[in-house]
Amino acid sequence: MKIPKRLEPLIDEGLIDSVVCQLMSGKEAMVYMVRCGNDFHCAKVYRENSQQHVSHRTPSFGGRRFKNSRRLRVIEKAEYTAYRTHLDQEVWPSKEVEMLCHLGRSGVRVPKFHNFFDGVLLMELITNSEGQVALRLSDLVPTPKQARHYHKILMKQIVKMLCAGVVHGDLSQYNVLVDSQGPVIIDLPKAVNASDNHHARSLIKRDVDHLTAYFSRFAPELAQSDYATEIWSYYQRGKLPNAVLTGHVKVTEDNDSAPVNVSDVLQMINTAIKKEIAWQQHKQSKLANQLLHC
Ligand SMILES: Nc1ncnc2c1ncn2[C@@H]1O[C@H](COP(=O)(O)OP(=O)(O)OP(=O)(O)O)[C@@H](O)[C@H]1O
Ligand SMILES: [Mg+2]
């Protein structure tokens, strides 16, 4: 097919040889099958206005945009270091790239990352046993047994993601492909860090509930389960990696009903207050120093 404009830089760079076809045009991106040597890969082209797309040419920091080196020179050293760290850790790799690499390393079934160039993600093309592009879960009609099996696998994948500190945040039958070995999770730009995102708990509940509602169309007994509460309860108690899920929440002595040790809690609060006071003092003395040198 004709090379879409956004893929031309990848052709020029020799990252892809040709574009075979468009697979999908979604809300956030257009997805193509591309040929690279003897292999076929998947190219996800983020839309220019997409929330997730971050141009690597003019990254923003603290609401400002830096386009030239003159502007960079006047940034204070410390701020510049922070700016570089910000570029390296958060801006250059898009959220999806970061997640594909991190989750792939953590053993979650996601497409293998190949490259990220000019707002285009190159990744493994998920195919079925005949080599054709894999179908989405939403396009399959599983038997009740298959539905229970896939549901179980996906709950384990959600647990693996959470053990790696991540909640997908947009999981549903539309963001899961099925290859010969089972479900593969895609579309990760909305993923959040489980430990510092206030919405992590509600997002994981939404992810689990979407999948459970879908599979319970084929295996109605799944509708009675509550994996989200069970998974989160194990996670909060630091017992997720060894958890054996049942889909039902057991309240045991060592969690919710166990008596609280008030003196331990007070000690933790005291330590936190001391740390906060020390931090405020440090900030004030730094500011006073800066004013002295003005
Ligand atoms: N690695 C892949 N291998 C095969 N097909 C893929 C792959 N990644 C995405 N696709 C196809 O492209 C579609 C859109 O991909 P994705 O969900 O990542 O983009 P999106 O723009 O967020 O789409 P949507 O708005 O529909 O969620 C998928 O539903 C799937 O059919
Ligand atoms: Mg999607």
Domains defined along the chain, listed by start: 1-56+94-125 (3.30.200.20), 57-91 (no CATH), 126-287 (1.10.510.10)
- Average pLDDT over every residue of 71-83: 55
- Share above pLDDT 90 across residues of the chain, in percent, rounded to a whole number: 62
Token pair for 72? 């960079």
Ligand 1 lined by 186 (C-beta under 6 Å): yes
Judge whether 219 and 151 are in contact, CB under 8 Å: yes
Token pair for 192? 């959040």
Atom of ligand 1 nearest to the CA of 134: 4
H helix intervals, 4-43: 8-12
Is residue 29 classed as helix, strand or coil in its secondary structure? Answer: strand
Ligand 1 lined by 175 (C-beta under 6 Å): yes
Summarised one tens digit per residue, pLDDT across range 278-287 is 888 887 887 8
- Share above pLDDT 70 across residues of the chain, in percent, rounded to a whole number: 80
Does residue 97 or residue 271 have the better pLDDT?
Answer: 97
Q: What is the pLDDT of residue 64?
A: 43
Model confidence at 26, pLDDT cuts 50, 70, 90, reads confident
Centre of ligand 2 from the C-alpha of residue 26, in Å? 7
Ligand 1 lined by 47 (C-beta under 6 Å): no
| Residues shown for the chain | 294
What average pLDDT does the structure give for the chain? 84
Based on DSSP, count helices (H) and strands (E) in the chain, helices before strands.
Answer: 8, 12
Centre of ligand 1 from the C-alpha of residue 32, in Å? 9
Summarised one tens digit per residue, pLDDT across range 39-60 is 999 999 987 765 544 433 333 3
> Can you give the pTM of this predicted structure?
0.75
Q: Is the pLDDT of residue 83 over 70?
A: no
Ligand 1 lined by 208 (C-beta under 6 Å): no
Q: What is the pLDDT of residue 254?
A: 54
Q: Measured at the alpha carbon of residue 57, what is the angle toward residues 53 and 58, in degrees to the nearest 5? A: 85
H helix intervals, 56-105: 69-73, 77-86, 95-105
Token pair for 281? 């003092």
Q: Is the pLDDT of residue 163 over 80?
A: yes
The residue to which tokens 């204070």 are assigned? 76
